[in-house]
Chain A
Amino acid sequence: MKILIVDDSKAMRMIVTRTLRQAGFDAHEYLEACDGAEGLAMVAAEKPDLVLSDWNMPEVTGIEFLQRLRADGNDVRFGFVTSESTDAMRALAADSGALFLIAKPFTADTFAEALSGVLVA
């Protein structure tokens, strides 16, 4: 399966990839994008099976990224990995079509729990 990781921090993209492997999801292809605009292009070009996106990014934010995907009729599985995890944001994420929201900082167990049922380890 293809997993697209979208975050404006290169360090965080590496940490997410590393944590996914630690959680047992190491048999997948990982793609990266640095913001929502690049994420939209990557989704169109690569058709990933899952998008893991930050919320706070330049150009196109994570929530804008998700809302544009859904407006275009794209139902790719989508989850947020973000430092902001208030109840209001979780509700907005879910209402916009996200399957989950993982709060930073996170652990491999957090990923395993959030992705169970979404990905096969």
Chain B
Amino acid sequence: MSVTEAAWVTADQIVEIAREVWGSFLSMDLEPVPDSGEPLARQTLTGVIHVSGGWQGTVFLETTADHAQAGAEAMFAAEPGSLSPEEVGDALGELTNMVGGNIKGLLPAPNKLSLPSVAGGESYTLRVPGALLVERVLLQGPAGPVRISLWRS
């Protein structure tokens, strides 16, 4: 699924970035899987980061609450269940920062990266008004799925 425009960033590139980040910092392998667009789970967390300047858009990184928890525990080298919601959010924000920062490097310069935001809960919708979907990938890891989407404003 993509808009008709120059392919600054491809799905394969997003997959490669995610696999490198998860492999390096979480020691988790991710594999791309078909994406039906259905909700990942009842409880999810979403990291959001914006690119502005030569290219305007947003990267969303959505995962299940369990996957976010497991990822944070890997990053903090923490015991299962020992982290606070703030620490889990911090870890997801940093994963979003790394994925977003690497995607930003592929986009037309000069551009700037925002600080990440993290939202979480049940059955919520996050959108950037007027933005069009450029690419979306779904990856499956040992701790659950992660969906990464790139939107053009």
Contact = CB atoms under 8 A, between A and B. Distances in A.
B75 A58 contact: no
Given A9-B97, A11-B94, A88 B102 contact: no
Contact of B76 (A8, A11, A82, A88): A11
Interface of A: 8-12, 14-15, 18, 56-58, 82-86, 88, 104-107
Interface-central residue, B20, B94, B102, by most chain A CB under 10 Å: B94
A18 B76 CA distance: 10
Contacts of B72: 11
Given A11-B94, A15-B75, A84-B105, A106 B115 contact: no
B94 A9 contact: yes
A65 B142 CA distance: 39
B24 interface: yes
A26 to B, nearest CB: 15
Contact of B115 (A10, A56, A104): A56
Interface residues of B, number: 25
B67 interface: no
B17 to A, nearest CB: 9
Interface-central residue, A8, A9, A83, A105, by most chain B CB under 10 Å: A83
12 contacts: A8-B115, A9-B94, A10-B87, A15-B25, A56-B115, A83-B100, A83-B102, A84-B101, A85-B101, A104-B101, A105-B21, A105-B98
B21 A11 contact: no
B136 interface: no
A107 B98 CA distance: 14
A28 to B, nearest CB: 19
B77 interface: yes
Main secondary structure of the interface of B (DSSP, over half): helix
A82 B98 CA distance: 8
B58 to A, nearest CB: 15
Contacts of A84: 101, 104-105, 113
Contact of B91 (A11, A105, A106): A11
Nearest to A8: B115
A57 B114 CA distance: 9
A15 B24 CA distance: 10
Nearest to A14: B76
B145 interface: no
A106 B21 CA distance: 9
Contacts of A56: 97, 101, 113, 115
